[in-house]
Amino acid sequence: MMFMILAFIAGLVYGYVKPGKEKRWELLKKGMVYGVILGILFGFFGFLLGGPRLFAAGAIGMFINVVFLVIIFIAGTFIGDLLEVAIKQ
């Protein structure tokens, strides 16, 4: 829960501070790449500690978590953009 709130606040600040509209599709693609990388890393550590089952659970779970946090971050950038337009007018 804490990571979701932090991702939203970070997205809000990012959307407000960075001028213009953000390229949300690019943010989502970059987040998916990071999700795959982190999923492989955590899956590898899980494989070392607990075998193939923990590898699959760690890799898939980490990918889903990272993509979910990226979607929350993107929602924060959307609201940050709206605040930027409303406050600067």
Residue 35 inside a domain? The answer is yes
Q: Which domain holds residue 36?
A: 7-88
Q: Return the structure tokens found at 82.
A: 């709206």
pTM exceeds cut of 0.85: no
Count of domains in the chain?
1
Residue 80 inside a domain? The answer is yes
pLDDT tens per residue across all 89 residues of the chain: 788 899 999 989 988 888 877 788 888 888 888 888 888 888 888 788 877 777 777 778 888 888 888 999 989 999 998 888 888 77
Q: Return the structure tokens found at 43.
A: 């899956």
